Homo-oligomer: A and B are copies of this chain.
Amino acid sequence: MCRTTPSAGRKGRPRSAEADAAILSATRQALVDLGWSKLTMGDVAARAGVAKTTLYRRWAGKSELVVDAVAVLFDELELPPDRGSLAADAEYVVLQFAALLERPEARTALMAVVAESTRDEALRTRIRHAIVDRQKRLVLEGRRRAQERGELPYESDESAAARTADLIFDVVAGAVVHRSLVSAEPVDTQWARAFTVLLLGGLAAATGFAPSPR
């Protein structure tokens, strides 16, 4: 999480663990109060009751700090014990993800760090490890359940299966993010249901027609 591992050097005063927690918490609160672009390192330090140097000793800059601060929010996403069908699981995940994107700290931070990462390879990697990759478990777990239920086949080609999982992930996450942040329309139950129908059944199902797919 931190810039340099404090356990590397063994002598001297160890870094305060409380400070870390206070900083990340202060960062989230500052995101709520100010939004990404008005958030400043100095303000976070003041909120956390910490000197600016203490921040910079742990994080290289605002982007890295914010990625770590919001990453834990995404870890709260979970599949519920059992919803009975792939459609129900998908709908549940969509609504849960949408609820997360309603939180102002996630809302303002997510797009901002992604934008920042378009010109910063290290940041891109950090986002991927801290946020993106960890949510793919939802797709994998959903597929596993659907396969157990017999809703989806067990695929023999593992790399093809991985590609499909990535595709599903981009479609689901992308659609929800786009609806919520770009189109700025609510992701409510009605939309989630329509999206799930489209996802599972394609345009055929979404329009009540039987096209002849290629």
Asked whether any CB of chain B lies closer than 8 Å to the CB of A10, the reply is: no
Q: How far is the CA of A153 from the CA of B195 in the complex (A)?
A: 19
Asked whether any CB of chain B lies closer than 8 Å to the CB of A107, the reply is: yes
Q: How far is the CA of A92 from the CA of B158 in the complex (A)?
A: 28
Contact A194 B164 (CB under 8 A): yes
Q: How far is the CA of A178 from the CA of B139 in the complex (A)?
A: 15
Q: How far is the CA of A194 from the CA of B54 in the complex (A)?
A: 48
Q: How far is the CA of A110 from the CA of B87 in the complex (A)?
A: 32
Q: How far is the CA of A204 from the CA of B195 in the complex (A)?
A: 15
Contact B167 A198 (CB under 8 A): yes
Contact B182 A178 (CB under 8 A): no
Q: How far is the CA of A183 from the CA of B136 in the complex (A)?
A: 11
Q: How far is the CA of A151 from the CA of B168 in the complex (A)?
A: 24
Which segment, of A16-24, A41-49, A71-79, A115-123, faces chain B? A115-123
- A36 (CB) vs chain B CBs: closest residue: B115
Contact A167 B152 (CB under 8 A): no
Q: Which of B37, B132, B185, B198 is in CB contact (< 8 Å) with A183?
A: B132
- Interface residues, chain A, with chain B CB atoms under 8 Å away: 35-37, 85-88, 104, 107-112, 114-119, 124, 127-128, 132, 146, 151-153, 155, 163-164, 166-171, 173-179, 181-185, 191, 194-209, 211-214
